[in-house]
């Protein structure tokens, strides 16, 4: 547990703000946001920039050298987890999306590089020697999303992975297969939503899943090996095992009942309901059809793939059934929310409803998140203020209000510019965002 005194707040604020004072665009890391190590293993939507996480963790740890354990309730692809490992910290995370949990579990090791290379060679021989013509998955509209030849090749890869004995290696291979499935499906890759390509486009494409898989596997092994070397050099890796504790659960953070063992919560929650911002679930739906879900988590609920929308519906803001008292509760806690909702008075009702449903759910998350944090623990929230009905939702002010209503203290706000993210730009609710705000807060002591 970190010790906290008044001067810690002043130091941390000064350190973070001095970086912005020296270069007002410091947090944008423009031209300096290359993804290396585990960060480069899979293109997950809305990933954080590792350099931002590294810089903030560095400052937080220099003010509080006793920080030991980081938590990320919305872990995604594990950017914060990987950066925590680079600093030799323990980590616990959750995500509701099985693909995100698979990525985190792979990126946290074990790092048996030589064995992995040997197993990859055996795997590729198995794939090349496979002459079977069976398709190894079945789901609604399979033939719409994958050409017949692609299905047969993805099936060879799936069969070969299933023959691998060790769970850690199978998980590693599933990541490359997940990426291959996404790249060779008939869905457009220019959007996170599932959008079928035009027939002309489909007919004109030549997909080679085995080749794509081999490339992706080789690249991932390279990044993994680089990460292992870096961790070994700093003494964090012994015989392939990371020396601190890492725990990532497949869970809805609203339902998590943890104990207070985190020194810092560092996270980037969704910007709004998935359907109108980033559809993490739709993005993951086709890749996950080719992965053995029980290899991701023994307790996985297969119904998470019941439809293309299921994961998104289960995520924050996925259900727009909001009771009046729930809406009133957030209005009481957040003046920024109250004013924002009022400004939507003239707009179609569903807009205010969507925003309310999202903040109702985000508010529910705060209870378990704060419970997992030690008294006086730090919080770093990376937030995007997206637009609804042409008006920017002040998520930074709303979240800050909601946390202050729970006695947390705002230490500082940092701004960073971002290149436009792929959003549901064709609907009238969302648009692309050009900046993010980083809220640095502290739980009451
Ligand atoms: C902005 S992304 C996190 C990206 C991550 N920081 C990275 O660098 O990859 C938000 C994540 O929140 C997850 N999520 C949404 N609702 C959730 C919930 N109720 N419980 C846990 N995770 C949830 C999504 O699946 C998504 O992976």
Q: What is the mean pLDDT of residues 293-322?
A: 95
Give the model's pLDDT for residue 3.
82
Is residue 346 situated within a structural domain?
yes
Q: Which of 66, 68, 71 is nearest to 81 (CA)?
A: 71
Average pLDDT taken over every residue of the chain: 94
pLDDT bracket for residue 434 (50, 70, 90): confident
Is residue 366 situated within a structural domain?
yes
Q: What is the mean pLDDT of residues 324-350?
A: 94
* Structural domain harbouring 79: 6-111+224-442
Give the model's pLDDT for residue 2.
80
In sequence order, the 6+-apart residues with CB closer than 8 A to the CB of 114 are none
Q: What is the mean pLDDT of residues 4-25?
A: 90
Å from CA of 268 to ligand 1 middle: 7
Q: Which two tokens stand for residue 37?
A: 């190590």
**Is the pLDDT at 432 greater than 70, yes or no?**
no
Q: Taking CB atoms and a 6 Å cutoff, what residues make up the pocket around ligand 1?
A: 44, 46-48, 74, 76-77, 79-80, 94-97, 100, 252-254, 268-270, 280, 315-316
In sequence order, the 6+-apart residues with CB closer than 8 A to the CB of 170 are 161, 162, 164, 292, 295
The atom number, within ligand 1, closest to the CA of 100 reads 27
The atom number, within ligand 1, closest to the CA of 79 reads 8
Give the model's pLDDT for residue 419.
63
The atom number, within ligand 1, closest to the CA of 72 reads 6
Predicted model pTM: 0.96
Å from CA of 74 to ligand 1 middle: 4
Contact 42, 181 (CB under 8 A): no
**Is the pLDDT at 272 greater than 70, yes or no?**
yes
Is residue 267 situated within a structural domain?
yes
- In tens, the pLDDT along 129-186 reads 999 999 999 999 999 999 999 999 999 999 999 999 999 999 999 999 999 999 999 9
Is residue 31 situated within a structural domain?
yes
The atom number, within ligand 1, closest to the CA of 46 reads 1
**Calpha distance 407→113 (Å, rounded):** 47
Q: What is the mean pLDDT of residues 86-101?
A: 98
The atom number, within ligand 1, closest to the CA of 314 reads 19
Number of domains in the chain: 1
Is residue 90 situated within a structural domain?
yes
Is residue 208 situated within a structural domain?
no
Is residue 288 situated within a structural domain?
yes
Is residue 164 situated within a structural domain?
no
- In tens, the pLDDT along 371-430 reads 999 999 999 999 988 888 888 999 999 999 999 999 999 999 999 988 654 444 444 334
Give the model's pLDDT for residue 444.
95
**Which residue CA neighbors atom 27 of ligand 1 most closely?**
76
342-347 CB contacts, 8 Å cutoff, 24+ apart = 343/391, 344/388, 344/389, 344/391, 347/389
- In tens, the pLDDT along 16-64 reads 999 998 888 899 888 777 899 999 999 999 999 999 999 999 999 999 9
Give the model's pLDDT for residue 381.
98
The CATH number that applies at residue 92 is 3.40.50.150
Give the model's pLDDT for residue 420.
52
The preferred substitution site among 72, 95, 368, 384 for testing ligand 1, maximizing ligand atoms within 8 Å of CB, is 95
pLDDT bracket for residue 1 (50, 70, 90): confident
Q: What is the mean pLDDT of residues 251-275?
A: 94
């Amino acid at each position: 547990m970190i010790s906290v005194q008044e001067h810690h707040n002043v130091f941390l604020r000064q350190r973070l703000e001095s970086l912005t004072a020296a270069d007002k665009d410091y947090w944008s890391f423009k031209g300096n946001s290359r993804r290396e190590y585990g960060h480069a293993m899979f293109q997950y939507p809305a990933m954080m920039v590792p350099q931002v996480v590294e810089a903030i963790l560095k400052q937080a740890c220099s003010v509080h050298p006793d920080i030991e354990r980081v938590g990320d309730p919305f872990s995604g692809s594990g950017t914060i987890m990987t950066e925590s490992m680079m600093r030799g910290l323990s980590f616990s995370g959750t995500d509701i999306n099985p693909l995100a949990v698979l990525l985190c579990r792979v990126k946290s090791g074990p790092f048996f590089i030589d064995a992995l290379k040997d197993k990859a060679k055996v795997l590729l021989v198995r794939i090349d020697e496979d002459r079977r013509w069976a398709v190894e998955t079945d789901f609604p509209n399979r033939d719409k999303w994958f050409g017949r030849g692609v299905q047969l090749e993805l099936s060879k890869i799936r069969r070969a992975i299933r023959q691998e004995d060790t769970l850690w290696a199978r998980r590693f291979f599933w990541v490359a297969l997940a990426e291959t499935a996404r790249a060779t499906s008939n869905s457009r890759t220019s959007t996170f939503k599932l959008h079928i390509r035009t027939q002309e486009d489909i007919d004109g494409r030549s997909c080679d899943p085995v080749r794509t898989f081999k490339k992706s596997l080789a690249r991932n092994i390279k990044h993994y090996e680089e990460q292992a070397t870096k961790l070994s050099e700093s003494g964090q890796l012994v015989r392939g095992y990371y020396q601190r504790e890492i725990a990532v659960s497949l869970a809805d953070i609203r339902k998590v009942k943890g104990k207070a063992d985190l020194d810092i919560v560092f996270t980037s929650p969704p910007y709004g309901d998935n359907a109108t911002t980033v559809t993490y679930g739709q993005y993951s739906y086709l890749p996950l059809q080719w992965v053995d879900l029980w290899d991701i988590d023994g307790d996985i609920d297969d119904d998470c793939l019941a439809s293309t929308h299921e994961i998104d519906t289960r995520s924050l803001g996925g259900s727009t059934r909001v009771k009046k008292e729930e809406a009133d509760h957030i209005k009481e806690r957040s003046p920024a929310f109250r004013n924002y909702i009022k400004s939507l008075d003239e707009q179609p009702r569903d807009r205010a409803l969507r925003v309310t449903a999202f903040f109702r759910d985000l508010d529910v998350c705060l209870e378990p998140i704060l419970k997992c944090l030690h008294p006086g623990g730090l919080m770093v929230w990376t937030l995007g203020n997206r637009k609804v009905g042409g008006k920017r939702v002040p998520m930074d002010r709303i979240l800050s209000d909601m946390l202050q209503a729970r006695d947390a203290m705002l230490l500082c706000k940092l701004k960073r510019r971002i290149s436009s993210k792929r959003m549901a730009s064709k609907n009238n609710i969302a648009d692309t965002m050009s900046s993010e705000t980083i809220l640095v807060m502290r739980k009451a002591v």
